[in-house]
Amino acid sequence: MRKSVIYGLLAAAMCAVTSAHAGVVIGGTRLVYHGGDKEASIQVMNSANGQIPYLIQSFVDDKGPKGDRPGTTGSLPFTVTPPLFRLDAGSENTIRVVRTGGNFPADRESVYWLDVKAIPANNPADKGKNVLRFSLKNRIKLFYRPKGVADPTSEAMEAIGFHRTGNKLTVTNPTPWYLSFFKLNVGDKVVDTAFTMVAPHGSTDYTIPAGAGGKITWQYINDYGAGSLVLDGKG
């Protein structure tokens, strides 16, 4: 009985989270800031089925893919406008990221993260009720792409190298772009790439599943957040 009560409370909490944020949608899973532009922008929408307004708070961080690194002390070279605004049901607004300084490498991308926190307002219909409400923070990658670096193509990404040693797969990235895998396979086995990107002109090791063998195939995540064409892994 005790377990049933606990599971019931957890299920109710999960439902509250889902309903509280079902209306807030960010218009992308990544944002590319081209060095020749004055700003980069992305839409935030409170869809028509949203019942309540939200307070939207946005900022940039450099705390890594999981948000668990110390990050830079002091100001970062980007500002977000508006940093705080109300988003009514059925409406949308544009978040703009503007570069304010910083010395970026001219031959490769730099990566930061854009945080968008949605804080639900009180719903008058819930007056007098015990209702759980949660704020939700979404983090998407913010890539700063210098003016001299073109957008990636499948042909250019074929330069990515793969070397297998035992159960270790080393991926080498000689390109100027960050590599995020959409899918990485050794034969019919899926390699877990988790949150790990391969930095420009860098390399990263991944663990190959037991019993995996055969051809390496892979897809990268493009600027639109979708998977690329399937490519063959080359040594």
- Tell me the β-bridge partners of 142: 31, 112
Q: pLDDT digit string (tens) for 131-163?
A: 556 678 899 999 999 999 999 999 999 999 999
Parts of the chain belonging to CATH 2.60.40.10 = 2-145, 154-232
Structure confidence at residue 19 (pLDDT): 35
Residues 27, 78 contacting (CB under 8 angstroms): no
How far apart are alpha carbons 66 and 82 in whole angstroms? 25
Relative to beta strand 181-186, strand 189-190 is antiparallel
CATH superfamily of the 154-232 domain: Immunoglobulins (2.60.40.10)
Residue 12: pLDDT above 80? Answer: no
- Enter the tokens of residue 64: 């890594």
Q: What is the secondary structure of 142-153 as a DSSP string?
A: EEEE-TTSPPP-
Residue 123: pLDDT above 80? Answer: no
Residue 167: pLDDT above 50? Answer: yes
What are the backbone angles phi and psi of residue 145, rounded to the nearest 5°?
Answer: -110, 110
CATH code that applies to domain 2-145: 2.60.40.10
Q: What is the secondary structure of 36-48 as a DSSP string?
A: TSSEEEEEEEE-T
Query: Which value, in Å, is the radius of gyration of the alpha carbons in the chain?
Result: 21
If you average pLDDT over residues 198-220, what whole number do you get?
Answer: 97
How far apart are alpha carbons 30 and 153 in whole angstroms? 17
Eight-state DSSP code of residue 126? G
Amino acid at 162: F
How far apart are alpha carbons 147 and 32 in whole angstroms? 12
Query: What global pTM score does this model have?
Result: 0.84
Structure confidence at residue 73 (pLDDT): 67
Structure confidence at residue 210 (pLDDT): 95
Q: Which of 103, 137, 104, 105 is nearest to 120 (CA)?
A: 137
Q: How many C-beta neighbours within 10 Å does residue 165 have?
A: 9
